[in-house]
Structure 1
């Protein structure tokens, strides 16, 4: 079949793309950044198209000629500056589905979410349901697949749960009794492939869930044991305090931590696995089997560094800001001029240098907090600190041999800049 796959560079989309290619389908992989697909196959055709700008039927019709089926995997866990639930989960998918019906597409598979039903309350679920309902109105074969928590290598939510599991204390909203039914990403991909087989009758809504539910508390403890740690202390977190903790997600640059997602967790995410077992012809894999496997060293590192990453960014910004503020308001200017004179800077150049460097430090701190072109910014900071250090080492050697090591402490700071640049480069 010729298949148009949207969201092909995402966690679920990439797994589905691989499965479709393995089955010999021709895949037009639609993504905002197709260069991130990192797949090579003569059966694969990348298509650069931004869902945020494709909310009209006319945006899709030129790309649907000769397409037999559509698989929509686009989804965001939290809205951003250019990405809203309404746009990405409702308007653009509805335009795509209607364009597909006009172009003669035979099947459409929509990756929705468990909970996108008549009881949907969160903006995430409501926006997914709007697209699901629009698809159900079309006179073609459709499948609305509603996964619970999807886990597997590369999953962002899975990485967050592992980071939460690695903490010495598990803060559990309402005791962590909420029931989840995690499903492996490979089973999601297998379900999509099964829906596309000619003999599979459509016009169905199917929950994609694991074979048995597990409580949120047990899920975290299982992930923790997989990381090679003993069981963590569990503290029940009343709802009002859980909402405060969830509200810290923006400060931690972690969109999954939000009050809306807390509400979805409170609702739970479990369903009868029988329809999926019938679809696959086998039970999906149990998430509990994963707990018996040892996590890789990379997973353990990632879990422990997950929440340190934003703290590292804040500390780097604080160093720059405090350095500039101290130079301007606290450290005696005459002492600063004496140091500058030792490096050969005198006269009118001294105050210009003092105030200029202080302003530069403050600008670097603010730019770090604002995350302005962060990889290039951090590299620039690395060379600035290295330059400072070399000048001081050559002109003020007493700081090299000072017992408090004021200059030597620049070495770990330089490494922090490089480490932060690397980990930020790994952000999805």
Structure 2
């Protein structure tokens, strides 16, 4: 993490350890979290390969084996795709099925990396599938199974796809933007996101100490077994749990203890327009003048993206992946139009301080 940024996470000195299963450790946020957790003496970190935990072609026998003896699962797997069915599987169906198994095998805490503004009814498939997954995961929470949903805004940091795109735009002297780029965003620094996720992981140490884990685990496993028909513990491990039925029944019958499920919006301390953000990057990163902005109507921007769609792969190749195919869609444009801001009081409480604002990490 950056030396210039305060990153002192207070660790509970409780004399016990937790086993953490980190999914998506090869990704931007997952990779940063892996680096941090691997240095913690109280954490035994497991980072399975894609063959061991694959949300596209899941092997439930492999997945079950990975869950043995785990205290915390951090799911940092996410994709951008034009295929709604694929998004549904990766963001919703498979994570919920895995969480049901995790609860059955005495996992105490499921931490899900989602996205700001995710909602089951959102018009953009990326956010609606994230929202559906979040809702069913939170429905599984009870006194023996804690669920935390982390929803970061646009994340700024080296290695991030959106950061590379924004820095690329910041080099341009002229920007063609719908509505002059006046849509609002609340970017967050990667270090703050990682610290927030790490704090959630380490909070499980306190959970282990304060709770009678044997009793709560037994309660949770018995509940999920009764409600999903998985009461036969010798059942073949390669079979898939029924996530829809389980989530509905657990939602009706569990204790629904509010303290055992939480949703945290991870946003920076400052709200800024898209155009001003790019200008700040241009001035502070490259010491260049404010760019000229040519406004265009939304319909023209949408038409342009539709026309670019057949050659989006070429643009991605020419920019060496700084602009991905998934970015060149009308859905991405709609996300900008909707804005990306949220109350971050819970995030401040989690960090123990205010997160950085864009003017601090544009330096």
TM more than 0.5 = yes
Of residues 57, 65, 73, the one that matches 2:68 is 65
Aligned to 2:47: 29
Note if 1:267 corresponds to 2:269: no
Give the superposition deviation at 1:52.
Answer: 0.9
Distance 1:89 1:114 in 2: 14
Of residues 12, 19, 22, the one that matches 1:5 is 22
Note if 1:209 corresponds to 2:227: no
Residues 1-29 of structure 1: CA distance to partner in whole angstroms, max 9, x if unpaired?
11111111000100111121222311111
Higher helix share: 1
Secondary structure of 2:47 counterpart: strand
Residues 323-334 of structure 1 correspond to what in structure 2 (within 5 A)?
A: none
Give the superposition deviation at 1:115.
Answer: 1.0
Of residues 184, 187, 196, the one that matches 2:189 is 184
Query: What are the ranges of 5 or more consecutive residues in structure 1 without an aligned counterpart?
Result: 33-46, 294-428
Aligned to 1:78: 81
Secondary structure of 2:315 counterpart: coil
Aligned to 1:243: 302
Secondary structure of 1:22 counterpart: coil
- TM-score w.r.t. structure 1 length? 0.61
Select the structure with the greater relative contact order (CA < 8 A; seq sep ≥ 6): 2
Aligned to 1:159: 164
Q: Which moved more, 1:243-252 or 1:256-265?
A: 243-252
RMSD (Å) for aligned C-alpha atoms = 2.0
Aligned to 1:304: none
Secondary structure of 1:52 counterpart: coil
- TM-score w.r.t. structure 2 length? 0.72
Secondary structure of 1:30 counterpart: coil
Instruction: Tell me which stretches of 4 or more aligned residues in structure 1 moved more than 4 Å.
Output: 56-59
Of residues 268, 279, 291, the one that matches 1:221 is 279
Aligned to 2:119: 117
Secondary structure of 1:116 counterpart: coil
Distance 1:84 1:29 in 2: 23
Distance 1:266 1:185 in 2: 23
8 Å Cα contact 1:148/1:209 also seen in 2 = yes
Residues 3-402 of structure 1 correspond to what in structure 2 (within 5 A)?
A: 3-24=20-41, 25-32=43-50, 48-54=52-58, 58-79=61-82, 84-117=86-119, 120-138=122-140, 139=142, 140-196=145-201, 197=203, 198-199=205-206, 202-225=260-283, 226-247=285-306, 248=308, 250=312, 251-253=314-316, 254-255=324-325, 256-291=327-362, 293=363
Residues 129-185 of structure 1: CA distance to partner in whole angstroms, max 9, x if unpaired?
111011111131110111100110110111011111212211222221111111111
Distance 1:269 1:129 in 2: 15
